[in-house]
């Protein structure tokens, strides 16, 4: 059952398509409740309104906190996936806690670079900070609030990471040995491996997305429509497994997963099978296998829902290098029994520092 809303609260969609909350008791004045429902900011404003306390004055126009509020009310924000909104909100709220009072006209490259440097001990956080700052200032320029992006072109710190561990074929086999066809654990592996879905797409995938053995699903992260064939191993796995009504992957109670909970559950099944892999690692493994089997950049983009060739190129270039190295390495072999294959002496004598010819 859906949770009962707190008394005197209203939820309305604004002209940009985003939802905003208000407090109104009877025919009294409406009070805007900032932030997401039940967030700390929202709860503080609700308790103040419930107690009859005058709500705090809105943040002064033109400050960074004001820009954050405009961004989160915009059509641009409404078009983002829920997970993307959550990630950007976390970054923006942390920045606004200390710099929300600064006027956006006074934000310089030096201020943004200082913010990056304060996160130097966690390079990934510094990269995320710069990424989100670029995004909100790009919005501000489009909306006419700013003329320049102070975060544009600032150097990002190098993050030393290989990302998610890509599964090996041996690890796939070990997982399959632990979880046979017909179990939800095995179906989870098969969905992730044979579709290339992210976990957010995997938990949405159901019979309504399959027609004539072709899967059509709109990518949760980017909104790109992904069309891939339903491969026979996946069809066999689906047919052998008890699934949910509108989703193939479901909890033990037959309910749909939330992607975060599914990721945690799948990690536990991997640990039980003695493999180090995670859900995203199967996506990387699938891309690697497809590239090594000759898939082109465009084919990988179609399978995995990428909108540019840059990501696909990482896999095809790696696969091509491996093949070229294998072919080229054969040219290094010298047949000791074949005449004329010895390494010839240099045509010009090699002289040492003393000027004497080296033998």
Can you spell out the DSSP letters for 129-148? Answer: HHHHHHHHHHHHHHTTS-SS
pLDDT, one tens digit per residue, over 183-234 is: 999 999 999 988 888 889 999 999 999 999 999 998 887 777 888 889 888 9
Report how far Cα 349 is from the mean position of its chain's Cα atoms: 60
Retrieve residue 243's tokens: 């699934």
**Contact by Cβ (8 Å): 115, 134:** no
- Mean pLDDT over 119-139 rounds to 93
Give the model's pLDDT for residue 320.
Answer: 60
Q: What does the pLDDT look like over 45-77, one tens digit per residue?
A: 888 888 776 655 555 689 999 999 999 989 899
Whole-model pTM: value is: 0.55
Which helix H or strand E contains 191, and what residues bound it?
helix 184-195
Q: Give 300-344 pLDDT, tens digit per residue.
A: 667 666 666 766 666 566 656 655 566 666 655 666 555 554 445
Contact predicate 249/243, CB 8 Å: yes
| 308 Cα distance to chain centroid | 15
| C-alpha neighbours within 13 Å on the C-beta side of residue 346 | 7
Neighbours of 54 (CB within 10 A): 8
What pLDDT does residue 342 have? 46
* Alpha carbon separation from 274 to 178, 192, 337, 348 (Å, rounded): 9, 18, 48, 60
| Secondary structure E strands in 279-342 | none
Instruction: Give the model's pLDDT for residue 270.
Output: 92
φ, ψ for residue 34 (rounded to 5)?
-75, 160
| Domain residue ranges of the chain, discontinuous segments joined by + | 9-51, 64-143, 169-329
For residues 159 and 124, the answer to whether their CB atoms sit within 8 Å is: yes
**Residue 64: other Cβ atoms inside 10 A:** 24
**What's the distance, CA 174 to chain centroid?**
27
What mean pLDDT is predicted for residues 7-11? Answer: 86
Quick one: pLDDT at residue 234? 92
Per residue in 269-309, pLDDT (tens digit) is: 999 999 887 887 787 777 777 777 777 777 766 766 666 67
Here the tokens at position 358 are 């080296």
What class does CATH assign to 169-329? mainly alpha
């Amino acid at each position: 059952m859906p949770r009962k809303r707190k008394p005197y609260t209203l939820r309305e969609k604004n002209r940009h398509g985003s939802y905003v909350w208000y407090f109104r008791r009877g025919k009294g004045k409406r009070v805007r409740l900032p932030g997401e429902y039940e967030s700390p900011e929202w709860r503080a404003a609700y308790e103040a309104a419930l107690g009859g306390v005058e709500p705090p004055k809105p943040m002064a126009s033109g400050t960074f906190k004001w820009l954050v509020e405009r961004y989160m009310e915009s059509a641009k924000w409404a078009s983002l996936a829920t997970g993307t909104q959550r990630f950007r909100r976390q970054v923006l709220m942390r920045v606004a806690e200390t710099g929300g009072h600064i006027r956006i006209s006074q934000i310089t490259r030096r201020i943004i670079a200082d913010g990056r440097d304060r996160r130097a001990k966690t390079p990934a956080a510094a990269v995320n900070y710069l990424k989100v700052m670029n995004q909100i200032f790009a919005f501000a320029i489009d909306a006419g609030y700013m003329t320049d992006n102070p975060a544009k072109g600032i150097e990002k710190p190098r993050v030393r990471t290989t990302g998610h561990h890509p599964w090996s074929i041996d690890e796939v086999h070990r997982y399959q040995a632990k979880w046979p066809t017909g179990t939800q654990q095995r179906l989870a592996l098969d969905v992730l491996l044979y579709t290339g879905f992210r976990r957010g797409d995997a938990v949405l995938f159901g019979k309504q997305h399959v027609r004539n053995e072709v899967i059509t699903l709109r990518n949760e992260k980017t909104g790109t429509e992904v069309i891939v064939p339903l491969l026979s191993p996946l069809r066999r796995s689906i047919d052998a497994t008890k699934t949910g009504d509108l989703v193939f992957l479901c909890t033990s109670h037959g309910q749909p997963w939330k992607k975060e909970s599914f990721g945690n559950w799948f990690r536990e099944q991997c640990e039980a099978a003695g493999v180090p892999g995670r859900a995203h690692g199967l996506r990387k493994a699938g891309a690697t296998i497809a590239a090594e089997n000759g898939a082109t950049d465009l084919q990988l983009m179609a399978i995995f829902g990428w909108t540019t060739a840059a990501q696909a190129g990482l896999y095809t270039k790696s696969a091509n290098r491996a093949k070229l190295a294998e072919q080229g390495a054969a040219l290094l072999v010298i047949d000791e029994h074949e005449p004329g294959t010895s390494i010839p002496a240099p045509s010009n004598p090699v002289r040492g520092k003393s000027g004497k010819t080296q033998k």
